[in-house]
Chains A and B, each alone.
Chain A
Amino acid sequence: MTQFNEMYHGTEVRIPYARLQDWIATMPQELRSLKQAEAEALFRRIGITFAVYGEGGDPDRLIPFDMFPRVFSGSEWARLERGIKQRARALNAFLVDVYGRGEIIRAGRIPGRLVYQNADNCRTPSGVSYMLESREIMMRMFPDIFRENRIEPVDTYSEKLRRTLASVAPAKCNGEPTVVILTPGHFNSAYYEHSLLADLMGVELVEGQDLFVDGEYVYMRTTEGPQRVDVIYRRIDDAYLDPLCFRPESMLGIPGLMDVYRSGGVSICSAPGSGVADDKAVYTYVPDMVRFYLGEEPILRNVPTWQCGRPDDLAHVLANLPELVVKEVHGSGGYGMLVGPKAAKEEIERFRAKLAEDPANYIAQPTLALSTVPTFVEEGVAPRHVDLRPYCLVGERIELVPGGLTRVALKEGSLVVNSSQGGGVKDTWVLAE
């Protein structure tokens, strides 16, 4: 299996990583251990911890932090940025269309069943706090490498987010809009992130119980009485937003919220229903959306993806199962997936049966999709697989911070980067040109 190591081109060190070569070469082992311990102490002290669903155990577990950064040159990033923004524009157009006239479906570019079956699914872009805190910690521990390299700052994110949220305030709002972040509460594994963003933006962090609907508006309960809320940046799923509309047993939501939303009394970000775009099967159509809505050629290629719901694709997937990664369409957190080259025979056979039973529930991708970046491991430095999660904000304008969350699979050869399954995070650098 060939894999791309982002630091090297053959035996040459690629330019963005040039200075890091000296940095690791001159770092003694003791210093490295010391710094690693310091980083962990900092994470713990700040309180960025992570609870793994369904495992019990330590609720204050740390996500492993790898000090070896992942680096993009300015021009590499510029291309990525154009591509990401292009996808964002297309997806935005798609959401407007899907909940409106549905032209892309009528034009036969996307099968309607995909969209309408899955319209209840939404994920929120978690992890941005790791991007922000990893950077803070790296700058604190290694000021020298920041002086030597010119690295674009990422701490503009919160300001961009605040502006984006204010820009979508409903027409009924006069004056400075009141923005809040809606969290499921402090037992949620991403609670730290919610509170960090609230703090950085200077907005209230509310739970469902803090909000109530009265007439045409939503209010929060404050020590000075009810205060009207204009924009809700929600970090809870659609299904929990409004017990009158979705799950009646939801304790997290606000009864009547959807009525106020529909009548334009409050804006909700991401808009209810936008989760349809997260769907892994819909994902495969993003290049088609770019062509359909924007009339442009996609700048970024999708990872080649086979839709197991299509008979041809399914045949290909079944024939090549040991080489492929198979994922559930709705899956997240790296659960319920098959990594063909790493899997035992029985597991592959188990997936074969699953695929036969409900093919439309799965997609498959080649395993070489993830590149590697040098990573600190027990024996020194070794390549490990990474992915990239950029954070794109779509409001009046489309904005992207230069950086993102790089997740790394710390086990040798592993392709599973999810923090719930032993993945870690790295600081992600974009060099200024």
Chain B
Amino acid sequence: MLSRTADNLYWIARYMERADTVARLLEVGSRISLLPSAQGYRSEWDSLLQATGMAHAFAKKHGEPVQRAIETFLFFDRDNPSSIASCITAARENGRIVRTALTTQVWDALNTAFQELRGLEGTKRSSMDLSRLTDWTMRHAAMVRGSIDATLLRNDGFNFLNIGYYLERGDNTARLMDVKYYVLLPRVDFVGSGLDNYQWTTLLRAMGAQRAFHWAYGGDVTAAKIADFLICNPQSPRSLATCTAGLVNHLSRLAKAYGRATEAQDKARNLVSGIETATVEAIFDEGLHEFLTRYITDAAELATAIHNAYLGGEMR
């Protein structure tokens, strides 16, 4: 497969996963804004902006984090490369470039999302609830993902798509947790307080995992259980354990198909063993922030290795 094609596939997956995460964040934001809260919801919205890594760009354009402006910024704003509109447009453009590597259903899912997005952009904003927009995004993200799973050949293209998904998802999970730890919890003596637990629940909700969490653990929501769920638990669909295992799996399949392993496979295995051997106690001893920062850096290095080995098309 052309390196450029593999690159486009990888980015389709990353953009769709990112759109999905932004939609989940928006949903959580709107939910919090409906609840009475000790601190008011404005700081919560601010923390959501922090989680997308776009707080600075937002402040520059809009100043104060007002809910309506944030919604528009995270959903419609084309100047924001992580907005849902930007992500879906970029995913669809990448798809259009590699039409030949996609099935009709996958293309249809991408293109339908894009065409409907144009419809939404032409609709009066006041006639659309935020929940309608977030539902819409998650539905289309699921349709793209589902049509990939249901119809695509299990060839190298499929592996590159999945590598994109798992890298992006792991990165999002790590960042969301990190933001919670650093932004939502300004002082360490808040740990274990009622505020702390409420915010952890919010985080679970952002991952669409609140109910799953209760099924898996039961009892009170504690920071330790949530960290275990989102980092170490291979049952959790967004945990770092699941994402890194997915990366190793799809990279091994590539190595097998091509008869050649690269630096990327080594790095992925290191990443996975770092997660597998971690315990919640050890993570909190090291410091959650330090642990997550290390994960984000290692994952970025893995992404570079994947680029060098497969996507960049270097002459070998």
Q: Which A residues are closer than 8 A to B by beta carbons?
A: 44-45, 47, 186, 191-192, 195-196, 198-199, 204-207, 209-210, 212, 214, 219-226
Query: Does chain A have a CB within 8 A of B131?
Result: no
B112, B115, B156: the one contacting A223 at CB < 8 Å is B156
* Partner among B4, B112, B160, B260 whose Cβ is within 8 Å of the Cβ of A221: B4
For the complex formed, measure the closest distance between the CB of A421 and the CB atoms of chain B, giving whole angstroms.
Answer: 25
A221 and B315 alpha carbons, distance in the complex (Å): 7
Tell me whether A224 and B258 are in contact in the complex, defined as CB-CB below 8 angstroms, given that A45-B111, A47-B107, A205-B100 are known contacts.
Answer: yes
Contact among A44, A186, A219 for B115, CB-based, below 8 A: A44
Any A CB within 8 A of the CB of B132: no
Listed by A's residue number, 9 A-B pairs whose Cβ atoms lie within 8 Å are A47-B99, A186-B96, A195-B99, A198-B100, A199-B100, A210-B313, A221-B315, A222-B313, A226-B315
B93 contacts A by Cβ under 8 Å:
yes
In contact, A45 and B112 (Cβ under 8 angstroms)? yes
Contact partner of B1 (CB less than 8 A), chosen from A198, A214, A223, A226, is: A223
A223 → B minimal CB distance (Å): 4
B108 touches A45 (CB 8 A): yes
Q: With an 8 A cutoff between CB atoms, is B136 at the interface?
A: no
- CB proximity of B169 to chain A, nearest CB, Å: 22
| Cross-chain contact B2 with A212 (CB below 8 angstroms) | no
Query: Nearest chain-A residue to B102 (Cβ)?
Result: A199
Contact check, A223 vs B3: say whether CB atoms are below 8 A apart.
yes
Residue B6 interfacial (CB < 8 Å):
yes
Task: Check A210 against B111 for contact (C-beta < 8 Å).
Answer: no
**Chain B hits for A212, CB < 8 A:** 315
Q: Is the CB of A204 within 8 A of B2?
A: yes
CB neighbors of A among B289-316 (8 A): 310-311, 313-316
Q: Given A44-B115, A224-B258: A195 and B313 within 8 A (CB)?
A: no
Instruction: Write out the residue numbers on chain A whose beta carbons fall within 8 Å of the beta carbon of B258.
Output: 223-224
Distance between B90 CB and nearest chain A CB, rounded to angstroms: 12
CB proximity of B162 to chain A, nearest CB, Å = 14
Answer whether residue B97 sits at the interface, using C-beta atoms and an 8 A cutoff: yes
Indicate if the CB atoms of B315 and A223 lie closer than 8 Å.
no
Give the shortest distance, in Å, between A162 (CB) and chain B (any CB): 14
A209, B315: Cβ atoms under 8 Å? no
Asked whether A210 and B2 contact (CB < 8 A) given A45-B112, A223-B258, the answer is yes
Given A196-B99, A209-B4, output 20 extra A-B contacts at Cβ < 8 Å.
Answer: A45-B112, A47-B107, A204-B2, A205-B100, A206-B2, A207-B4, A212-B315, A214-B315, A219-B315, A221-B2, A221-B313, A221-B314, A221-B315, A222-B2, A222-B313, A223-B3, A223-B6, A223-B254, A226-B315, A226-B316
B250 to chain A, nearest CB (A): 13
- A206 to B100 CA separation, bound complex (whole angstroms): 11
Decide: A222 near B316, CB < 8 A? Known: A47-B107, A195-B100, A198-B100. Answer: no
Q: B234 to chain A: closest CB distance in Å? A: 28
Most buried by B among A198, A212, A224: A224
- Cβ-defined contact, A186 with B97, below 8 A: yes
Do A47 and B2 contact each other (CB < 8 Å), given the known contacts A210-B313, A223-B258? no
Interface residues on B, range: 20 to 34
Task: Tell me, rounded to whole Å, the shortest Cβ–Cβ distance linking B130 to chain A.
Answer: 27
A222 touching B3 in the complex, CB below 8 Å, given contacts A45-B108, A212-B315: yes
**List of A residues within 8 angstroms of B314 by Cβ:** 221
Pairs A-B, 5 closest by C-beta atoms = A221-B313, A199-B100, A195-B99, A223-B310, A225-B316
Within 8 A of A (CB), among B1-21: 1-6
- Chain A's closest residue to B111 (CB) is A47
Within 8 A of A (CB), among B76-108: 93, 96-97, 99-100, 107-108
Given contacts A45-B111, A47-B111, A226-B315, contact A186 B1 (CB under 8 A): no
Chain A residue with the shortest CB-CB distance to B159: A223
Measured CA separation A224–B256 after assembly (Å)? 12
Cα A198 to Cα B260 with chains together (Å): 28
Complexed CA–CA distance, A219 and B313 (Å) = 11
Q: How many Å lie between the Cα of A205 and that of B5 in the bound state?
A: 9
User: Which A residues lie within 8 Å of B5 (CB)?
Assistant: 204
Q: Which residues does chain B contribute within 8 Å of A195, judged by CB atoms?
A: 96, 99-100
CA distance A310 to B314 in the complex (A): 55
Docked CA distance A198–B97 (Å): 12
The CA of A204 and the CA of B5, in the complex, are separated in Å by 9
Cross-chain contact of A199 among B3, B6, B99 (Cβ < 8 A): B99
Residues of A within 8 A of B100 (CB): 195, 198-199, 205
Bound state CA distance, A92 and B309, in angstroms? 44
Query: A207 — which chain B residues lie within 8 A by C-beta?
Result: 4
Identify the closest chain A residue to B4 (Cβ).
A210
Q: How far is the CA of A47 from the CA of B110 in the complex (A)?
A: 11
A223 to B156, CA, bound (A): 9
Give the residue among A47, A210, A214 with the most B Cβ atoms within 10 A. Answer: A47
- Min distance, Cβ B85 to any Cβ of chain A, angstroms: 15
CB distance from A258 to the nearest CB of B (A): 20
Taking CB atoms, residues of chain B closer than 8 Å to A192 are 99
Central interface residue in B2, B111, B260, B315, by most chain A CB within 10 Å: B2
Give chain B residues whose Cβ lies under 8 Å from the Cβ of A45.
108, 111-112, 115
Q: Which residues of B contact A186 (CB under 8 A)?
A: 93, 96-97
Q: Which residues of A contact B6 (CB under 8 A)?
A: 223
Give the docked Cα–Cα distance between A196 and B3 (Å).
20
Residues of A within 8 A of B99 (CB): 47, 192, 195-196, 199
Chain B 179-211 interface mask (CB, 8 Å, partner A; 1/0): 000000000000000000000000000000000
Alpha-carbon separation in the docked complex, A196 to B156 (Å): 21
Residues of B within 8 A of A206 (CB): 2
Contacts of B313 in A (CB 8 A): 210, 221-222
A426 to B53, CA, bound (A): 51
Least CB separation from A200: chain B residue: B100
Query: Chain A residues with Cβ under 8 A from B108's Cβ?
Result: 45
Contacts of A47 in B (CB 8 A): 96, 99, 107, 111
Expressed in whole angstroms, the Cα–Cα distance for A46 and B31 within the complex equals 38
Of residues 186 through 240 on chain B, the ones whose CB sits less than 8 Å from some CB of chain A are: none
Task: Please indicate the chain B residues that have their CB under 8 angstroms from the CB of A199 in the complex.
Answer: 99-100
Contact B315 A210 (CB under 8 A): no
Q: Which residues on the A side are within 8 Å of B310 (C-beta)?
A: 223
Q: B31 CB to closest chain A CB, in angstroms?
A: 35
Docked pose: A220 CA to B316 CA in angstroms: 11
A155: min CB distance to chain B, Å: 16
